Structure 1
Amino acid sequence: MNLWNFEELHETPSQTGGPYVHIGLLPKQANIDVFEHNFGNSLITNETQGQRIRLEGRVFDGLDIPVRDVLIEIWQADANGVFPSRADTRVGKVDANFLGWGRTGADFDSGLWHFETIKPGQVPGRKGSMQAPHIALAIFARGINIGLNTRVYFDDEVDANAKDPVLNSIEWIQRRQTLIARRDERDGQAVYRFDIRVQGPNETVFFDI
């Protein structure tokens, strides 16, 4: 006997990610200490292979105002281009001292967020292509019903970027520039700036995944 009448089932109402997203996902930033191991914005240790970088930026709304309660997650390959996941079945050996995933919130005053990580290596794409070094990034905040997903590429990887299949799938070249982080140097460390705009004429390219 079938107890389910699917014609009577309705879609569950959606909610935005805020305004209490930090309490559930980054409680320490909200001055609530409940987890034995807190998620953090550093993906590296002293033994991690590769070039250490700082990735930072702010998220702007449609009025060009910084969003100060946004939560950011990143996912990336290690310096050898291997993801720290069983789903990556390549022969290449993953760096055991690299996390590959991080989570942080924007500073409540300035709206600035940042990660301490390494520049990833290239990873295979479809049909034998190679993808340029990049970092996958997801955004959660009030007013956003589902997470916004985008990518971070690097402005000093010009040749690799020119061949990247995902960047080349974006028709307008000017729109591709919204995915490029700009390199600077601060106290001897490479710092890449990546500002995100959720609306407006310079809106960042987001992906359906």
Structure 2
Amino acid sequence: MNATLLHDIIFYIMYFALAIALVIIIERAISFAWTWRQARQLEQALTPQVRQINALPAELLRRNSLPLSMIQPIMLHKNQHNAQSLNDMVETQYLLSKPQLNRGLWLLETIVTAAPLLGLLGTVMGIIDTFKALSASGVSEPSLVSAGMGTALYATGLGIAIALIALVGNNYLQSRMDRIGELLKVLLIRAAGSALPLPDAADNWAENGAQRYA
């Protein structure tokens, strides 16, 4: 394959990887901001007195958000008084939220690893192309060699720059995702707690009286 063509293809791939990284960072940042806002509003609305999903504010129920979709099955499952079953539902809903939060982040991690390697490959191809051109033309002018080497080394610099952008974006999104995950776990625990029945005063009196006179 022509070294010049391969060198150009590597540059196009790196530019495409940079565009993908920026799109993922922006999309995930907006999505995380929306999810965080909805989770905070649900946290404030989900008090111990709220025992039905319909008791939540209507404006929260109208919004299709990840936090609401997570607590809905638990709130609707309130008639089952088995605490172990509710704990299993909490864990299940929490695990199901992970793929939605992680969407696209694996691409950022891949770009962090692949971008410097692509840059190094582009540099190697550029050096090969430079020496081929010099040997074919028989020119031994040092300035021409320097110009060709500078173009080749630009690929390495571009690859490192893309990797740094993707790395910073990925670390920021990972920290945001961890905070959102903790808040979602709090919401699930609150939903499970509000799903448990309130103790009946008469039943408590009868139970205490039975224990007292046993």
- The TM-score bracket by the shorter chain reads under 0.3
Q: TM-score, normalised by structure 1?
A: 0.21
Look at both structures and tell me which one has the larger radius of gyration over its CA atoms: 2
- Greater fraction of residues in helix: 2
Q: TM-score, normalised by structure 2?
A: 0.21
